Amino acid sequence: METTIELIRQMVYTQEKMFRNATDLLSALDLQTLARVTGCTTQLQVIPCSSSCLLDKYRTISGICNNRQHTHWGAANVPYVRWLPPDYDDGFSIPKGWMELKKYNGFALPLARMVSTAILHTGNRNISLDSSYAHILVEWGQWIDHDMDLTPQSASTSSFIDTIDCSSSCYNRSPCFPIQIPEDDPRACESERCMPFFRSAPACGSGESGILTGQLRPREQLNSITSFVDASMVYGSTESLAWRLRNHTNDLGFLAINQQYSDHGLAYLPFMTKKLQNPCTLTRDQSHIGNKSDIPCFLAGDSRANEHLGMQALHTIFLREHNKIVSELHQLNPHWSGETLYQEARKIMGAFHQIINWKDYVPKILGPDATKQHLLPYKGYDDTVDPRISNVFATAAFRFAHVTIHPILYRLDENYTENPTYPSISLHKSFFSPWRIIEEGGIDPIIRGVVLKSAKLQTQTQMMPEELTEKLFQPKESLALDLAALNLQRGRDHGLPSYNAWRRFCGLTQAKNISELIQVFNSTYLAKKILAVYKTPDNIDVWIGAIAEPLLPRARVGELLACLLGKQFQVLRDGDRFWWENEGVFTKQQREELSKVTLSRILCDSTRIRRIPVDVFSRNQYPNDFVPCNSSVIPSLSLAPWKEKTTETSCGEVPKVERAHFFFCKTSIHFECNTGFHLIGASSITCNPFTGAWSSAAPTCQENISKSSSLLITMLVTICGCVFIVLLAVIGFQRYRRRDKGMNKTVIKCGLCIK
């Protein structure tokens, strides 16, 4: 929508130098048509929620209707929520730093790359290790982040004005917002004057498309996945992806696994469809792999699954865990359909993530004092609480852990020592390299490495190792990115208010001069270093200011991050109708079993690792702090409370329906036909305990139409569809002229965009 409006505006403005706004160019009918064909109408419309029992029993895959009053809250593809109004250059859309000579509070804003090199850059060998926590704490932070937020980039990768590719342009021309490299930067040269950066996609109804809602609203960004902690990185946040991830060779609710390779019988993730531009083949040195075939990227519920080996390993773990749960549920309830098995396993997996995150991860990050202050005891679901991810959380606050990443990815053998065959590697060599899992020992060595080895300790003098500032996502000899600069540029792209503004939001003091900044950071060295770059405390970007603060007692964040993270985790819990402790989501017996879950148990059950710490997040010494996986101190939970009692009701036995499965939902019994059959009659029946009679006759399952008939119908529909599209294309691309208020305007109507 925005791309089309901007293209039309630029085309006509360039020619006639008079029309600046979309409303000057397009009528209300034109805008409505454009909104419909670009999908904006669908994104803005209110979705009614059915009263179906299933909507009370299971989450929708997109998160829609979790809140029945505000159906979009927490759903995929809705804007992030703002806790403070955005701070754009023009108050509307243009990010700070867009105009090079503009001053803020009397000073120019420093380049994002300059901030990175002057304040954050740390040599790989100059880091300190965390004496309290293992690196899996860092891995879990990224894992759970991928369950909560994903910001899509602009749909266009070329400048609207001159169609120059953003990857090769160093000019700020929407959607290009390149990260400029200062002249005195070690990487500055003729061929490397900037790093490519694409602006995040705007939400419909904001920015240029704000006129659709009847008022001009500042640019907002989208969260393309569900906000809820629901294991969406395993299952996806759209129906189409969720369907692709499932095993359709049987009706047992399994997730699909790799059909070409396995870890000696243990499953790997399936592969993505091979493409010409496959980033997971660019990381291989072709001269050293002989005749081995190219290994594509893995397919998972989140598009970032292949970013590095740690993420690939966790995705593999929870794929196996889902299929393990499904197998056990099938043994307990052989009458359940594959859909019921899938949904129940997905529900349990979501609870696993909630419990591990809020019980074992969040308190370690916030520290005991801040946890008590910001995470009050759970009192039940509150439908007035907005559970959406905030823009500042996704774009700045939860990126704090980037400065705790170790520059080495350790791979260890069965005795937790260096693996001589497949030794540890520099972090940048693990980016987009699933082939290392397939060909270099599987996921077990990686899991052992993150469990035993320490996280990097964030200190005020050792922030981000050069693996991330100089070698991020570097395939072969291509330009490497800078994670710190990306974080800063993204914050400006999203219009995040300054560090001081967020301290004011949290009720904290704001530094106005060097002496006050020294007090806030408790460091003369760091305060002077930051002020030398920013010139004034009011210009400090929120991300750099937040990670620069001293850590709270027994925490891994400072006071601002504790406030922002604590607020987000509280609303995610209290505003989730399917929170595992909410009455009616699980039975009391089921909650008792779920409360036993630990990441240690899941790792034991889904790998061949035989000794592990009781608390994998804490720093442990091998072998003293490691116990056998079959030890009682790492309890296994029983799925026995999920067994349905299906023999008798007050109306007698549940009616038997041939070629169908059934399950209970509150007081009703729901029937589902086996694959290849469709249901005739009522899909659910209810027993009247007073009369002892069923509400209606049981349904029947009828075989679907034959494959030949189905093929014939498909062909006819396809032919008709193609004819219809051709007709629309012919009509839709016609140019027409119209006269409006004495001025000639040429408007190009594009009804469809056909790939």
Query: Does pLDDT of 91 surpass 90?
Result: no
CA angle 543, 564, 179 (to 5 degrees): 20
Q: Provide the pLDDT for residue 730.
A: 40
Mean local confidence (pLDDT), 705-725:
54
Q: Provide the pLDDT for residue 292.
A: 56
Written as one letter, the residue type at 177 is F
Q: What is the DSSP string of 339-381?
A: HHHHHHHHHHHHHHHHHHIIIIIHHHHHHHHHHHHHSPPP---
pLDDT in tens, 13-69: 555 555 455 556 677 788 778 888 887 877 777 778 877 777 889 999 999 999 999
pLDDT in tens, 535-551: 999 999 999 999 999 99
Catalytic: 146? Answer: yes
Taking alpha carbons only, the member of 45, 50, 34, 33 closest to residue 2 is 34
Taking alpha carbons only, the member of 703, 625, 579 closest to residue 134 is 625
Q: Provide the pLDDT for residue 414.
A: 96
pLDDT in tens, 236-277: 999 999 999 999 999 899 999 999 999 999 999 999 987 656
Query: Does pLDDT of 530 surpass 80?
Result: yes
Choose between 167 and 96: higher pLDDT. Answer: 96
Dist. CA 421–CA 407, nearest whole Å: 20
Choose between 637 and 646: higher pLDDT. Answer: 637
pLDDT in tens, 208-242: 666 666 667 899 999 999 999 999 999 999 999 99
Total-model pTM: 0.88
| Other residues' Cβ atoms within 10 Å of the Cβ of residue 160 | 22
Q: Could you say which of 72, 121, 135, 146 is catalytic?
A: 146
Burial of 494 (0-12, 13-18, 19+ CB in 10 A): buried
Phi, psi (degrees; rounded to nearest 5) at 130: -80, 120
Mean local confidence (pLDDT), 354-359:
98
Averaging pLDDT over each range in 24-28, 68-72, 321-325, which range is the top one?
321-325
Phi, psi (degrees; rounded to nearest 5) at 612: -155, 155
Mean local confidence (pLDDT), 6-17:
63
Dist. CA 676–CA 673, nearest whole Å: 8
Residue holding tokens 């592990």? 612
pLDDT in tens, 415-448: 999 988 999 999 999 999 999 999 999 999 999 9
Q: Provide the pLDDT for residue 276.
A: 58
Query: Does pLDDT of 752 surpass 60?
Result: no
Cβ within 8 Å of residue 92, ≥6 positions away: 207, 216, 218, 219
